[in-house]
Amino acid sequence: MSKRILVTGGAGFIGSHLVEGLIEQGFEVEVLDNLATGQLDNLKHLWKNKKLHFTFGDIRNREIVKTCLRDVEDVVHLAAVTSVKGSIDEPLATHDINASGTLNLLRASVDARVRRFVFASSCCVYGDPHQLPISEDHPMNPLSPYAASKLAGEGYCQAFARSYGLDTTCLRLFNVYGPRQGGGEHGGVISKFVERLSENLPPVIYGDGDQFRDFIHVRDVVEAFVTVLQGERCAGEVYNIGSGKATTVNELIRQLLTLLGREGIEPVHIPAVSGEIRSSLADIRKAMQQIGFRPRLQLEEGLSLLVGRKVVYADR
């Protein structure tokens, strides 16, 4: 009998890619998603696969979570409110889902005797860095309710590891991009830029565009999760998952303008958003040394794949 894994938020951007990867590896996957931002279309190519099991529900619902954890050996917790702006508008709801929801899932995982619990955290927990690249022992300084809720989730994971012996690992994801990432309010910056450029609209840049990010393709992120699930030396650890390379927003725009053949379009600059981090770059040496993590897809290649896919859709 193959191992059964629960993936919360499995119909979302990262989650659907992870579900796909786990099934390809031979795992049975239980998906729990309330479809607030996830989409069933993200899993439609897997519907006929008997290794996929889907439950519509909320991570805060104890009975639903308990049911989903039956015969589950490992949990990957991705379900969350992910919008910084949304968290500023609705801090209590963000805490309820991201912090209290994680606590509910951890408690149920202990009761269900889950072997390993992998939590998707965020580089936002660092805030504006004091030094670059950012290592895992960098001081925490969350600038938004979203970042604070992710740090709370990490704290609960570490507390449950110490208090109950639950094997927990936290992955601090940097700026993930790739297919199936929406361009709306909850979308990533790359998807938003591609969406507007594909419609011959100017991309909107918050601030001067000199802020830089560490962009990592979703394919590499999936590999990191799978590696942790299959590894034996990850208990209680926290890892940065990024590319280890910095790209300014202005440079990102230049690459996209060239790839899409929209060099004549000028970006529009508007004031920066409160709570957004100015600069971010991951120090990934710990993940490389301890779990053998290696980002494989360079940004230029990843953008080419993404833009090719988007252009096909835009021209239909």
Q: Which pair of structure tokens corresponds to residue 92?
A: 């209590």
170 lies in some domain: yes
pLDDT in tens, 284-294: 999 999 999 99
If asked whether residues 89 and 205 sit together in one domain, one would say no
Residues of the domain holding 93: 4-176+217-241
If asked whether residues 190 and 102 sit together in one domain, one would say no
If asked whether residues 93 and 222 sit together in one domain, one would say yes
259 lies in some domain: yes
- The pTM assigned to this predicted structure is 0.92
Query: In the chain, how many domains are there?
Result: 2
Supply the pLDDT for residue 250.
Answer: 93
206 catalytic per annotation: no
pLDDT in tens, 28-72: 999 999 999 999 999 999 999 999 999 999 999 999 999 999 999
If asked whether residues 53 and 186 sit together in one domain, one would say no
Check: CB of residue 269 under 8 Å from CB of residue 194. no
If asked whether residues 32 and 78 sit together in one domain, one would say yes
Q: What angle do CA 170, 132, 176 make, to 5 degrees?
A: 45
Beta bridge partners of residue 33, listed in sequence order: 56
- The CATH number covering residue 258 comes to 3.90.25.10
If asked whether residues 40 and 101 sit together in one domain, one would say yes
How far is residue 257's CA from residue 265's CA, in Å, rounded to a whole number? Answer: 8
Catalytic residue among 146, 156, 177, 239: 146
Q: Half-sphere exposure of 25 toward its Cβ, with a 13 Å CA cutoff? A: 19
316 pLDDT tier (thresholds 50, 70, 90): very low
CB atoms within 10 A of CB 220: 19
- The CATH number covering residue 61 comes to 3.40.50.720
Phi, psi for residue 303 in degrees, rounded to 5: -65, -40
If asked whether residues 69 and 103 sit together in one domain, one would say yes
